[in-house]
Structure 1
Amino acid sequence: MTKFQVAYVPVGVPTFHLESAQKEFEKSIDLLNTITDAAIVPDKMLLSIQDLTNFLDTIEPSLIILQNITFANAAYASEVLKRFSCPVLLWTLREPVIDGGRLRLNSLTGAYSAGNALAAFRDGNFEYIFGAPQEERTKKTISACIRAAWLKNELKNLRIASVGHTPQGFGFGRAMDADMQKVFGATLESIEVRELIDMAKGYTDDECSEYLDKMTKCTVGLDKTPDNNRKDFARLCKAYKEYVDENNIGALSSRCWPDFFTAFGTPVCGVLAMLNDMGVAASCEADTYGALSMYMGMKLSEQAVFFGDPVSLDESENTITFWHCGTAACSIAREDTGATIGVHPNRKIGPVMDFGCKAADKVTVFRVGQKADGSFRFFVTTGSALDKPKQFCGTSIVVRTDKNSYDIVNQSVKDGWEPHFVVIYGDCSDELKVLGHMLEIEVCEY
C-alpha cells in the first residue's frame, strides 16, 4: 500500500518581511491540519536552497503544496520538480498589508517564477490557488486538491475485477488491463462467471446462512422470494464475498444476464447490492469503467452510490431519472419503504432490489468514459435527488440537475457518452475535476 502524504513546501528568501511571513507560515500549517492528518510540514520556512533540499530529503509526497511564503526564484520550484513527479498545488499568498510602505512578501511574483518552471516541467499540469489561509476559497480549493490527490493515490492501491464478459452490444464497459494500469494506476484482473457459479454450487445451506440473515435484516419482503432462490442468493453472495476478500478486490464489474438466469436460476443483482453496502463498488452488465466510476464516488462520498441508466426526462421538473434492474445498495433506499425486494423486471426471478432511492440536497452525476479514439474523459454534472417513489420496477433515482436537463441529455447523447452513470450523494464535482486534471483526463462539465 502506498502511504498518502501531503508535503507543505513554503519557499522564500530572507530579504523580505519575515515577521509577516512567519504569521502566514503558522496560519498555513493550521489550515492544512484542519483539512488533513497527512500533512508533513517543515520546522521552519525554507528560505534557502539548502533548507529546501534538507526538507525534501525527508519526504515521500503524494501531493506537494508549493507555497511562495515570500518571493523565491524559479530555482526553488525546479529543485522540487526534478525530484518528484506527484501532483503539485502552487499556492500564492495575498499581500498582507498595502500601506504605501514596504512590500512584505511579494508572493505573487514568486508564483509567476514557479508557474513558469512548472509549465516547463509539467506542460501546465499543476493546480493553483491565490489567497490567504483564512479565506474560504483557499480552504475549499486546497481541500479539493488534497482529496483528489488522495483518491489518485487510492487508485494506485486498487485491485478491480472483471467477472465475465460484457454482453453483445455492451462493449463500452470492457476494460484493458494495460489502460487501467497506465491511466489510473489500478490493477485489473479477470475471472469467468462459471468459476463463481461453481463455487456457489459447492456450498451447503449452513455455510451460507449468515448471508441470508444479513439480507433478511436489511431488506423488506425477502420472505416472498421462493426458498430455493433465497438459498441460491446466499450461496452466490458467499462466493463473491470470498473471492473479493481473498483477492483484495476494491471494485468489480459482473456479467449478469443471461448467465445467472439460465445457468444458475437466480439473479446476481442482490449480491451486487450487498457488496455495494459492504464498501465494494459493484456494477452489473460487466461495466468495468462503471465500477471504477462507482469506486471513485464511494471513496469521495464515503457511502454507497447509485449505478444506472438515464431512462426518463421531464423538462417541466428539470429532471433526469436514472434506473436499473435492482443492484442499488440497501443503505440508499427511501426510509418510508426500506430496501424492498422484488423480481427482475424482464426475467421475473428474484431476489432483486425494488425501490426508489432517498432524496439529497446535493448529488453529483459522474462517469469515466472513453471517446471514439480510446482516450478517457470524465462526465460531471450536479443537482439534487428528489423525494420520489420508485419510478419503474427495479431501483430508481430522480435527479433535478443544476443546469438544463434537456440540454444535458441532448448534448451528452450527441457527444457519445456510455449509457451507464453513477449518482453520488454529495457535491464532489470539484474533487473530480481536479482529479481529471491530475490524471491528464479531459473533464466534460454538463
Structure 2
Amino acid sequence: MEKIRIGFVPLHRYPFDETWAQELKKRFINVIEQRFRDFVELVYPTEKDVKMGLVTDDEDAEKTIKLFRERGVEGIVLSTLTFGDELAGARVAEEFRGAPIIVFATKEPEAIPGGFRRSDSFCGTLSLASALYRRKIPFLYGGIVFPEDKEFVNSFDNFIRVVSIYRRFVGARVGIVGPRPERFETVTFNEAKMAEKFKQRVVHITLLEVVEETKKLSDDDPSVQRIVSEISSYADTSQIPREALLKIAKLETILRRFAESKKLSGIGFRCWTEIQRYYGISPCHAMARLTQSGIMTACEVDVYGVLTMIIQYAASLEQTPPFFIDWTIKHPEKDNVFLAWHCGNAPPALCAAKCGLLYHSIMYRDVGVEKAYGTFEGRLKPGVVTISRLVEYDGEFKLFITKGRALEDEKPSFRGSWVWVEVSDLDKVYRTLIEEGFVHHASMIYGDYVEPITQFAKIAGIKAVVV
C-alpha cells in the first residue's frame, strides 16, 4: 500500500523549556520512523521552516500548513510538547478540518531547581482541546504519553488505521453491475447522501456490457490463462468443467479492466440469476479474487456492503481481505456461536484447508448445474475477527461493530463459504441488529479492529453502534 502521510505538529509555548520540547520532538520522530516506517511517511517542520523547529505562533502555523499542503498530508498529530500554543494548533487544525486529527499530551520531565514547571503539557492540552471543540473540529485524544510508551505506540497505530480508512472511504467510487435484486430492498442505498456527506460516487455499469466484453476474450488471452493457472494452483478444480473455469477468468479480467478504467474502489455485483442464465457461471469466485486483490466486491449490488468492506480492509492496512457474509443460524449446541456464511465468495487466503470450486448450491435449482459453477466452498480458518455493517436511514449513517472468534468447529458442515463464529453475547448482537435496523449482510475481517473503526466513525460523523 502507498504510505500514509502523517503531519506532526510539535507545539510549544514560551516561557516553558524549549530544549525539553526539542528533545521530545526528536524522540517522537525516532519512534514513529523506526516502528511505523513500512506504513507511514512522517512530515514535520524543521528548524529551517519554523523557530527552533517548534510551532509556537501564527507565523509558525502558516508555514506548517504550507508544508503539509505541499506534501499531501492526510492526518494530523497535534502534540503539546510543553504547554503548547493552542491557537497555533487550532490554526493548523482549521485548515485540515474533516481530516483525521489526534491530540497527544506529554508526560512531565523532572522539575528544575526552584520548582519551575518545564512543560505543563496537560494544562495546555486542555486549552488546545477546548479550541478545537469550540470550532467544532472533530478530533481524537491519544493520552498523556512519552513516545516510547506502549500507550503511545498503540494509539498511534490505531490512528494510522483511522487515516487509512478515511482516505479510502471518503471519495470512494463504487461500481454497480446491474440493478439490485427486485426482492432485496435491504440493499437500497442513497446515492445523493453518499455524494453529499462523503464525496462518494456510484458508477453504473450494465450487466449486458460486462457479459458482452467477456465474450470478446479468447481462451488463450494472457490474462485469462494467468488467472486459470493461479486458481488451479490453490483450489480443487476437479469438479468444475474447464469451460466454466475459463468463464470465471474472463469475468474477472473484464471486471478488473472496468475497475481500473473507472478508478473503482469496489464493486457491487448483480450475482443472480441473470449472470447464470446469460453467461453461464456463478460469479462468486471472481468476486472473491477481486476482493483479495484489494477491489472490494459485494454480492447482490450491496453498495453499503462494499463501503463496509472498504472500511475493514483499510483498517487492516490492506494486509488481509474481508469476507462478505450473511448473519445466519445459531449453533445447534454452543451458546453465543453463529454461522458466518455466504454462497461461495470467500477470498482464497481465508480458507482453513484447500477449498474447492463447485456449483452454486442454491442457483442450480433454477438454472441447472451446468450454468451454476463458480462458487469457492469450504470452512474458513480460525482466529479473532471483527464484524461490521454500514447502514443509512433518513440521511443518517451508522456502523455496527463487534468482535468475535472464528472457531475450528467443523460440524455440521455446509455448502458455500462458512465458519462458526463465537461472540460474547449473541442475543445482544441479534437484538441490536434488529432494533437498530441493520441488515442481513455484513463484512467480517480477521483481526481486532474495533477501536480504529470506532474512531473513524467519530471523525467521519457516523454513529458507531458497538456491541
1:131 equivalent in structure 2: 144
3-state SS in 1 of match to 2:267: strand
3-state SS in 2 of match to 1:7: strand
Question: AA paired with 2:385?
Answer: V
Distance of 2:9 and 2:246 partners within structure 1: 57
1:218 equivalent in structure 2: 234
**How much does 1:144 deviate?**
1.1
Alignment of structure 1 residues 196-345 onto 2, 5 Å = 196-207=210-221, 208-220=224-236, 222-301=237-316, 302-314=319-331, 316-335=334-353, 338-345=354-361
Distance of 1:82 and 1:329 partners within structure 2: 41
CA contact (8 A) 2:326 2:440 kept: yes
| C-alpha spacing 1:179/1:112, structure 2 compared with 1 (3 Å) | same
**How much does 1:193 deviate?**
0.9
Pick aligned residue for 2:431 from 399, 405, 410: 410
**How much does 1:205 deviate?**
2.1
**How much does 1:324 deviate?**
0.7
Distance of 2:301 and 2:329 partners within structure 1: 23
Question: AA paired with 2:439?
Answer: E
2:174 equivalent in structure 1: 160
1:83 equivalent in structure 2: 95
Question: AA paired with 2:416?
Answer: G
Residue 40 (1) aligns with residue 43 (2):
yes
Query: Which sits farther off after the overlay, 338-347 or 181-190?
Result: 181-190
3-state SS in 2 of match to 1:274: helix
TM-score by length of 1: 0.91
Question: AA paired with 1:49?
Answer: D
Structure 1 runs, 4 residues or longer, greater than 6 Å off = none
Distance of 2:61 and 2:158 partners within structure 1: 26
**How much does 1:419 deviate?**
0.7
Question: AA paired with 2:166?
Answer: K
Alignment of structure 1 residues 394-409 onto 2, 5 Å = 394-401=416-423, 403-409=424-430
1:378 equivalent in structure 2: 399
1:59 equivalent in structure 2: 68
Question: AA paired with 1:424?
Answer: I
Pick aligned residue for 1:387 from 405, 408, 414: 408
Alignment of structure 1 residues 116-195 onto 2, 5 Å = 116-122=130-136, 125-132=138-145, 133-156=147-170, 158-195=172-209
Residue 359 (1) aligns with residue 371 (2):
no
1:11 equivalent in structure 2: 11
CA contact (8 A) 1:94 1:130 kept: no
**How much does 1:15 deviate?**
0.8
3-state SS in 1 of match to 2:82: coil
Q: What are the ranges of 5 or more consecutive residues in structure 1 without an aligned counterpart?
A: none
Question: AA paired with 2:320?
Answer: Q
CA contact (8 A) 2:6 2:76 kept: yes
Query: Which sits farther off after the overlay, 418-427 or 57-66?
Result: 57-66
| C-alpha spacing 1:169/1:398, structure 2 compared with 1 (3 Å) | same
Q: What are the ranges of 5 or more consecutive residues in structure 2 without an aligned counterpart?
A: 47-52, 365-371
Task: Map Cα deviations across residues 30-77 of structure 1 (whole Å, 9 max, x no partner).
Answer: 233233532112222223433333333221232121111112343223
| C-alpha spacing 1:277/1:65, structure 2 compared with 1 (3 Å) | closer
**How much does 1:227 deviate?**
4.0
**How much does 1:300 deviate?**
2.6
CA contact (8 A) 2:391 2:398 kept: yes
Question: AA paired with 1:303?
Answer: T
Pick aligned residue for 1:346 from 355, 362, 367: 362
**How much does 1:167 deviate?**
0.6
Alignment of structure 1 residues 88-107 onto 2, 5 Å = 88-97=101-110, 101-107=115-121
3-state SS in 2 of match to 1:38: strand
CA contact (8 A) 1:279 1:303 kept: no
| C-alpha spacing 1:258/1:57, structure 2 compared with 1 (3 Å) | same
Task: Map Cα deviations across residues 86-130 of structure 1 (whole Å, 9 max, x no partner).
Answer: 33211111223369922221111111111111011125x211122
3-state SS in 1 of match to 2:378: coil
Distance of 1:83 and 1:269 partners within structure 2: 44
**How much does 1:14 deviate?**
2.8
**How much does 1:261 deviate?**
2.1
**How much does 1:3 deviate?**
8.5
3-state SS in 2 of match to 1:393: coil
Task: Map Cα deviations across residues 218-243 of structure 1 (whole Å, 9 max, x no partner).
Answer: 211x2322344333333323322222
Distance of 1:292 and 1:258 partners within structure 2: 24
**How much does 1:445 deviate?**
0.2
CA contact (8 A) 1:310 1:421 kept: yes
Question: AA paired with 1:51?
Answer: D
3-state SS in 1 of match to 2:14: coil
Question: AA paired with 2:427?
Answer: Y
CA contact (8 A) 1:237 1:271 kept: yes
Distance of 2:304 and 2:94 partners within structure 1: 33
3-state SS in 2 of match to 1:210: helix
CA contact (8 A) 1:4 1:153 kept: no
3-state SS in 1 of match to 2:45: coil
Distance of 1:138 and 1:323 partners within structure 2: 37
Distance of 1:127 and 1:441 partners within structure 2: 14
Question: AA paired with 1:325?
Answer: C
**How much does 1:262 deviate?**
2.1
3-state SS in 1 of match to 2:183: coil
CA contact (8 A) 1:199 1:239 kept: yes
Task: Map Cα deviations across residues 359-385 of structure 1 (whole Å, 9 max, x no partner).
Answer: 11x2111112223x2311111111221
Distance of 2:187 and 2:386 partners within structure 1: 20
Task: Map Cα deviations across residues 406-440 of structure 1 (whole Å, 9 max, x no partner).
Answer: 22112222222111111111111111111111111
CA contact (8 A) 1:165 1:174 kept: no
3-state SS in 1 of match to 2:103: strand
3-state SS in 2 of match to 1:225: coil
